């Protein structure tokens, strides 16, 4: 009976071992899962891949894309993708089913066209294909990311998409089954070995009615009469000894240590299997999730990535350099707006006739010294970068604004860092944008600080003088006033006037690491030259002014318009520091007669 039990245990162990090995070999799941976009999906100019898809497998998804002609795959934040797609018809790939056999695709009706996404600044990265593209999708930075796949925005997006990702190849029961099977087989063999060596209890001789039963045969042998009484006496003595034994004494027929080995091995195998079985699910549950999953909902993130900002700066610098070389504002394309566009347009016009007139500061993408990227994701969005190219004598503070998701960043301000100044430290993880009218956490609100700057320029000796240290900008501004007053420059009978004001609202207000604020703004400076009496003339000796006025002499009032691009630092609340004028550049932008 015991031998049969050992055989049964051995077979059970063999089956468990077979099942464990099978899960690791011929029954093992495939390493990758592939699923294609159904041909029945309605065509649309855009295909959006939801960030949930990036959580499949190990967080890395490969796409095999086939389509007619050229197309683009763009990576962007989910909110940026939603804003850019807007009301355009599109298909959204939400993910795949649990078995990886079908995609969850939702079609949204809408406009039949969208802009070409290939050159949009909104994307963290793009990759182009022609006919076919194998795209490896991995998150460029922390947080959630989506994909947009499109042709040129007017044609249907590529319809042949195949997604593949790492499959869950974990087999949590394979090792426990192999361990359990091995232990069961070992225990069975050991059990059989001990049984075969006579480990079982031998048959006992029994005396009854003067007969003895042999352990080797069923033959009953009669005892001699003379030994009967001795046998009876011996039996009586043994019974007495049994009664006299302590209660805790080991029974004569209790299995030996060797006989208990199979039971111990079986118990050990069960314990090992239980421990491994309990450990595997715990490990899987606590294993790190994919980057996209772990960073989801991690809070505010910068509106552009580091690489994205560098790409935007390079594109802007290329457009500006081309326009500067040709002195043609049209070459700026969509890379300049507002005061920055006005300054360059007028500077090109002036230099076409007055070649000696200073050019506007050249824009360079490198060397990038400091970047200021906010986490406020509402539009318009504004970023600032401090760069210094080979032609820049000092670092240049560049500010660019994106009005909406479908527009590119455009240069709105560029000014040189004044000698002796250092741009405040800014968080690489993104900065806060502040309300221009609020003084919360600051020694003054940004609007009040700009008002103090205007007051300082209007009256260099007034109370606002104490709020700023001296710098080359203030010195040059005073010298320009003196030159305008000098009769040798504009005529003897001319009454000059000067004024300053803020143009619109500040371009940007950022919080610095020290709790202070950096304010980028544009001021308008005007010089009026009014003839004292009727018939008096104003001499326009400055060639640049004469070029914009279209004359060198006039008996009308002359108003010269300048734009001052400035950057201010406001100390944090409680500080005794004064305001710092970090940068300032002045450019002539217009002359009006009358």
Is the confidence at residue 362, as pLDDT, over 80? yes
Is the confidence at residue 297, as pLDDT, over 50? no
Say what the pTM is.
0.75
Closest CA to 380 of 83, 117, 143: 83
Alpha carbon distance 313, 366 (integer Å): 9
Percent share of the chain, pLDDT over 90: 60
Q: How confident is the model at residue 168 (pLDDT cuts 50, 70, 90)?
A: low
Check if the beta carbon of residue 588 is closer than 8 Å to that of residue 565. Answer: no
Is the confidence at residue 211, as pLDDT, over 60? no
Alpha carbon distance 9, 2 (integer Å): 11
Q: How far is CA 365 from CA 118, 303, 311, 378, in A?
A: 21, 18, 9, 25
Is the confidence at residue 223, as pLDDT, over 50? no
Summary mean pLDDT of the chain: 81
Beta-bridge partner residues of 415: 397
Could you tell me the strand order of the sheet in which 396-402 lies?
368-372, 381-387, 396-402, 410-416
Choice among 37-41, 148-152, 244-248, 495-499 with the minimum mean pLDDT: 244-248
Closest CA to 401 of 414, 376, 382, 378: 382
Tokens 């997006």 belong to residue: 157
Mapping DSSP onto H, E and C, the string for 8-71 reads HHHHHHHHHHHHHHHHHCCCCCCCEEEEECCCCCCCCCEEEECHHHHHCCCCCEEEEEEEEEEE
Residue 217: the pLDDT is 40
Q: Please calculate the CA angle 328-370-424 and round it to the nearest 5 degrees.
A: 120
Which tens digit of pLDDT belongs to each residue from 373-417? 999 999 999 999 999 999 999 999 999 999 999 999 999 999 999
Q: How many residues does the chain have?
A: 594
Which tens digit of pLDDT belongs to each residue from 40-93? 889 999 999 998 876 665 667 888 999 999 999 999 999 999 999 999 999 999
Residue 275: the pLDDT is 41
Beta-bridge partner residues of 162: 36, 64
Tokens 């670092």 belong to residue: 395
Residues 6+ apart with CB under 8 A from 340: 410, 411, 412, 413, 414, 565
Residue 487: the pLDDT is 85
Which tens digit of pLDDT belongs to each residue from 477-522? 999 999 999 888 887 789 999 999 999 999 999 999 999 999 999 9
Q: Where are the alpha helices (DSSP H) in 295-357?
A: 306-326, 338-353
Residue 241: the pLDDT is 40
Choice among 19-33, 131-145, 195-209, 407-421 with the minimum mean pLDDT: 195-209
Q: 59 — alpha (psi -120 to 50), left (phi > 0) or beta?
A: left
Q: How far is CA 232 from CA 35, 206, 209, 213, 441, in A?
A: 89, 11, 10, 15, 111
Tokens 């004569």 belong to residue: 252
Choice among 21-35, 333-347, 350-364, 408-422 with the minimum mean pLDDT: 21-35
């Amino acid at each position: 009976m015991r031998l049969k039990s050992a055989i049964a245990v051995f077979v059970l162990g063999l089956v468990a071992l077979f099942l464990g090995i099978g899960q690791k070999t011929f029954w093992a799941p495939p390493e990758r899962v592939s699923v294609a976009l159904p041909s029945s999906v309605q065509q649309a100019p855009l295909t959006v891949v939801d960030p949930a898809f990036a959580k499949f497998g190990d967080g890395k998804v490969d796409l095999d894309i086939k389509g007619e002609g050229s197309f683009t795959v763009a990576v962007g934040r989910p909110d940026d993708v939603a804003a850019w797609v807007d009301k355009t018809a599109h298909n959204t790939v939400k993910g795949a089913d649990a078995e990886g056999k079908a995609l969850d695709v939702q079609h949204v009706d809408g406009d039949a066209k969208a802009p070409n996404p290939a050159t949009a600044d909104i994307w963290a990265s793009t990759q182009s294909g022609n006919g076919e593209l194998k795209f490896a999708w991995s998150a460029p930075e922390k947080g959630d990311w989506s994909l947009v796949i499109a042709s040129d925005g007017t044609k249907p997006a590529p319809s042949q998409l195949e997604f593949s990702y790492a499959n869950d190849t974990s087999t949590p029961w394979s090792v426990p089954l192999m361990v359990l099977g091995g232990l069961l087989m070992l225990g069975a063999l050991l059990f059989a070995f001990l049984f075969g060596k006579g480990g079982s209890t031998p048959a006992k001789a029994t005396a009854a009615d003067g007969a003895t039963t042999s352990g080797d045969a069923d033959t009953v042998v009669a005892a001699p009469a003379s030994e009967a009484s001795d046998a009876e006496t011996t039996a009586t003595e043994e019974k007495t000894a049994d009664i006299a034994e302590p209660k805790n004494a080991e029974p004569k027929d209790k299995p030996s240590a060797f006989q208990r080995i199979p039971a111990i091995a079986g118990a050990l195998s069960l314990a090992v299997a239980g421990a491994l079985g309990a450990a595997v699910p715990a490990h899987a549950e606590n294993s790190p999730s994919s980057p996209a999953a772990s960073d989801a909902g991690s809070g505010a993130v910068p509106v552009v990535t580091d690489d994205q900002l560098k790409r935007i700066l390079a594109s802007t610098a290329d457009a500006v350099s081309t326009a500067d070389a040709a002195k043609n504002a049209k070459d700026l394309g969509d890379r300049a707006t507002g005061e920055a566009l006005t300054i360059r347009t007028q500077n090109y016009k002036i230099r076409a006739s007055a070649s000696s007139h200073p050019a506007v500061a050249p824009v360079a993408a490198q060397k990038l010294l400091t970047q200021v990227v906010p986490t406020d994701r509402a539009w318009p969005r504004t970023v600032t970068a401090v760069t210094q190219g080979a032609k820049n004598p000092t670092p240049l503070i560049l500010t660019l604004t994106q009005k909406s998701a479908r527009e590119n960043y455009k240069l709105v301000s560029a000014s040189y860092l004044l000698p002796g100044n250092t741009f405040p430290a800014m968080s690489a993880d993104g900065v806060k944008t502040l309300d221009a009218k609020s003084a919360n956490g600051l020694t003054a609100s940004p609007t009040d600080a700009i008002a103090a700057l205007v007051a300082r320029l209007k009256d260099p000796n007034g109370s606002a003088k104490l709020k700023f240290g001296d710098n080359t900008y203030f010195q040059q501004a005073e010298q320009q006033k003196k030159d305008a007053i000098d009769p040798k420059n504009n005529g003897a009978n001319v009454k000059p006037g000067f004024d300053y004001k803020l143009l619109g609202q500040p371009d940007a207000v950022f919080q610095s690491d020290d709790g202070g604020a950096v304010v980028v703004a544009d001021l308008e400076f005007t010089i009026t030259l009014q003839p004292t009496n009727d018939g008096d003339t104003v001499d326009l000796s400055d060639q640049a002014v004469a070029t914009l006025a279209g004359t060198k002499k006039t008996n009308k009032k002359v108003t010269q318009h300048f734009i001052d691009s400035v950057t201010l630092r406001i100390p944090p609340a409680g500080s005794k520091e004064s305001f710092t004028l970090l940068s300032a550049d002045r450019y002539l932008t217009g002359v009006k007669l009358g």
